[in-house]
Structure 1
Amino acid sequence: MIGRIQGVLLENKAPDLLIDVNGIGYEVQAPLSTAFALPKVGEKVVLITHLAVREDAHVLYGFATENERMLFRTLVKISGVGPKLALAILSGMETQRFVQSIQDQDPAALTKIPGVGKKTAERLIVEMKDKLNALGSAGAMLMSPFGDLTPAEDRVDHLQDAESALIALGYKPALAAKAIAKVAADGMTSEEIIRNALKSM
């Protein structure tokens, strides 16, 4: 298993990253919370990773925090939740808020995440609650703060980044642009725009 990767960020086209490690370019999939917390292209990055081995591919997933990876690994063990949906969940809702929604048994909050319907939300509440209890103290860590994750500064175009990210999550370009125009304000980071746009949909 590859549990950690350190190298130079070559591309950041959330959720797709390309990281150079001693001359080898690793393609990494990351949630938006991680992608927008990374430094600028050309700078060094360190990610906690999870390697998923399938018959047709080996896919590397990267996370800024152990909490994100822990939640990702817990989610993919749930029936009907694959890595793609797990990334969408991490991208659409902060770890603390997601766990709180599970504890509060609030399917309405979960259905705001792209790709999560009513039945999936109900299944997440039932199965995640059991899994969080089984994790014990480790599960309690998921309620701790993310830490000071600051989105990369001086983005050429925060609005364009946010729109591209929403499209990558499965939204149609017109809907993504409309949602962003509705919530965007001066001084907002790409991540803030994305989260507010997701809430407004």
Structure 2
Amino acid sequence: MYRYIKGIVTQINPQHIVVENNGVGYLVLSPVPYQYKIGEETTVVTYLHVREDIFQLYGFKDEETLNLFLKLISVSGIGPKSAMSIVAFDDTNKIIAAIETSDAKYLTKFPGIGMKSAQQIILDLKGKLVNDELDMQLLSDNSKDVAAALEALGYNKKEIAKSLKHVNFDQDLNKALKEALAILLK
């Protein structure tokens, strides 16, 4: 409903900020409210969460964080509170990389996310957070090495990206490379 609010930050609290726009103060729940400064004009990218008993406005510094938040709340068992704790805790690229490389252990470090929730996040979001193009910045060291090896063997980036989506990088590098090759040779 509200895509963004542009205004002056008038209050900062541990879980929210207040952004004044045309005489109206909007209470905006923020993953990292202290990134804003009182008196500063800012644009907050927002999401209005509506339940039968409450309307909550969530705000983010950029579209990328908002998009990750929206994807996370689409996962069964992950609500706005859990999604906020995830996006507040770490860089969005690291979170996306953990999901794309099936790193459930990494995801369990976030408050309120156990192994079952982490696996559900991976199951629901793996392959949906990045384009089919190979984005080397999002990949872990093991997946970068596997991607480089596959590229040296003559595979194009699109083929590599598709195969890496299905490889488990928790295993050692040789096994991961064999798994990627098996996928490509099917």
SS at match of 1:79: coil
Q: Which residue of 1 aligns with 2:48?
A: 51
Q: Choose which of 92, 105, 109 in structure 1 pairs with 2:102.
A: 105
Q: CA deviation at 1:130?
A: 4.5
In 1, the alpha carbon distance for the partners of 2:8 and 2:93 equals 29
Aligned-residue identity in percent: 35
Q: Which residue of 2 aligns with 1:15?
A: 15
Residue identity matched to 2:35: A
Q: CA deviation at 1:48?
A: 0.8
Q: Which residue of 1 aligns with 2:34?
A: 36
Contact 1:31 1:87 (8 Å CA) reproduced: yes
In 1, the alpha carbon distance for the partners of 2:14 and 2:83 equals 15
In 2, the alpha carbon distance for the partners of 1:92 and 1:62 equals 15
Higher RCO, Cα 8 Å, sep 6+: 1
Q: CA deviation at 1:72?
A: 0.7
In 2, the alpha carbon distance for the partners of 1:104 and 1:21 equals 41
Q: Which residue of 2 aligns with 1:163?
A: none
Q: CA deviation at 1:113?
A: 0.7
Q: Which has the larger radius of gyration?
A: 2
Contact 2:100 2:127 (8 Å CA) reproduced: no
In 2, the alpha carbon distance for the partners of 1:7 and 1:71 equals 24
CA RMSD of aligned residues (A): 2.0
Q: Return 5+ residue gaps in structure 2 as ranges.
A: 139-186
Instruction: After superposition, give the CA deviation of every residue in 1:25-44 in whole Å (9 maximum; x if it has no partner).
Output: 11101112xx2322x21221
Q: CA deviation at 1:129?
A: 0.5
In 2, the alpha carbon distance for the partners of 1:66 and 1:36 equals 18
Q: Choose which of 90, 109, 115 in structure 1 pairs with 2:87.
A: 90
TM, length-normalised to structure 2 = 0.68
SS at match of 1:61: strand
Q: Return 5+ residue gaps in structure 1 as ranges.
A: 144-201
Instruction: After superposition, give the CA deviation of every residue in 1:165-193 in whole Å (9 maximum; x if it has no partner).
Output: xxxxxxxxxxxxxxxxxxxxxxxxxxxxx
1:98-177 equivalent positions in 2, closer than 5 A: 98-132=95-129, 136=131, 143=138
Q: Which residue of 1 aligns with 2:70?
A: 73
In 1, the alpha carbon distance for the partners of 2:119 and 2:6 equals 38
Residue identity matched to 1:68: T
Q: CA deviation at 1:14?
A: 2.9
TM, length-normalised to structure 1 = 0.63
Residue identity matched to 1:25: G
Contact 2:3 2:47 (8 Å CA) reproduced: yes
In 2, the alpha carbon distance for the partners of 1:57 and 1:137 equals 38
